[in-house]
A and B are shown apart, each in its own frame.
Chain A
């Protein structure tokens, strides 16, 4: 192996290459394969070939996309079929399942890391684009389609082209009240929803180092919304402290040995990146989206943009279309946008820290609109209840539900009614994502909590005065 300086991206890549073809495609070994209800297309492909899974022991199933978060006893037959299908398929192939009634159930990108299954230096794939989340541990994690899921099932490998490398450095420090969600949305607004296309991203710099694992998970989660293949953060003591004593993580001497290897997972001095972007923590304000793409994001003190001032005709048309769908007029203050409901949940922002930051704003206050809080996993739910956070949400008038993808994608029936406007901690403000005709504004959990209290988009910093976050 050459002694040339390498990025962490290349180090993990090189450690997983089984063979490289003349055309430059490499066959990569996959360390973890995660499945959910939507994986039925891939199971069908495996069945059609009359074959078995190569490594069921490296494969884990999680019921999340379709599971009811309310009234689980009255589950609809169509949804029940999706959940049962996953159970039958995983059982038939000897795969561990975190199913509907399992205490480990939760959203795949929340519960799997908490189980210690996500480790630095692993390759991790799942038929879900937000698999990039697991990069928070310094893992090489990306979303794949059903044909690739079937390929991994049958071979535990994937053909991939080495990605281009991008480094995003965030210098300085965040100002109080801003979070990983604001970093991510600021970054996406800056480079565009396809700005990182074809790239693997390493996030680095003092602001990233200061983030908790929860914050890093949120940041890496949103990598896909910048078009990036994946995003990761080099592991450090924050990572190791999180992993210690997690159920599936190595223990004792094996853990110590692993840490020695993991410490080498950093980009070497002088390693070349194809692109470098620098953000300054102090310039990052609480951000909200106003349109139908995550790149339609602005600081909360801004106004709705005017299509007449767009950079070109295509952008002008896109903005016009977005404003029509969202029912907004150019020039209006973002803080004047009234909302109909709120949602706190999804693999982006449903971890314990997220719930705490929303609760810090809501404590002792009432929401003026209805809303749903769906913790990221059954374990997060239990912990939040131990801390009394559920009381704060309920006392504020919000519904405290079970864990699942819920209103992030609405597959389980948790939908925003057509024409209604939702302040949401999720990751996609696409047309119809939360339900046909639904209007979504993305923001951090504390910002959603503030919007719930005032009934319109709000700078939560005003509501935090004198409170501890």
Chain B
């Protein structure tokens, strides 16, 4: 009997139509921009896979397809055997997500944000009355600040609440889209420790999209390199390094893509 993978992506394609700035008769010229090009991979149940890529590499597109926010153009994506396009509601019950922006109603408190969002997953007030304080305690959120508006909390604190929001719904697949970007080193380590804790306690499968090599190496069983919508490699960190004859994951990334994250930062400065 074969064990069903948590995530099964096969020849996944997605294109966007973008204005290219120039004008033509009858309007603005548009062009097709591929975001994912025949991406295929599987993630085993309980595994943590990190996808490394620069901005615009297709990481977030992949996460948004798996979280049913985006319809793909070709190929297939399945979560625990359920097709994301054909049965989105069934997939939504299995998945939750933490993204780079904490994404809360900023005037509302952590308690209020967690409470209403848990209702969307069918959790009743009786269930959340005990679950929210327990989860906030686990993520190390000070109980006396539970009633403060989100906008008064630090980015690190907000990201802990984002993790708590995901935890509250007991997802079997957790999508982490650059969850520690912009956090100070201490908050970053705390969030990473929470992710490890979630894996230990919840039998949770994790797909982590990041451009933080250290984080990928620290958290993931396997690491993939996504570049311009193409998945160039997906293996254990050691094997990815060996494959490109590199000492570090960063060197392997550069060898695979011909670029470094510094190149990207520089391009952004010059843009």
Q: A and B from one assembly?
A: no
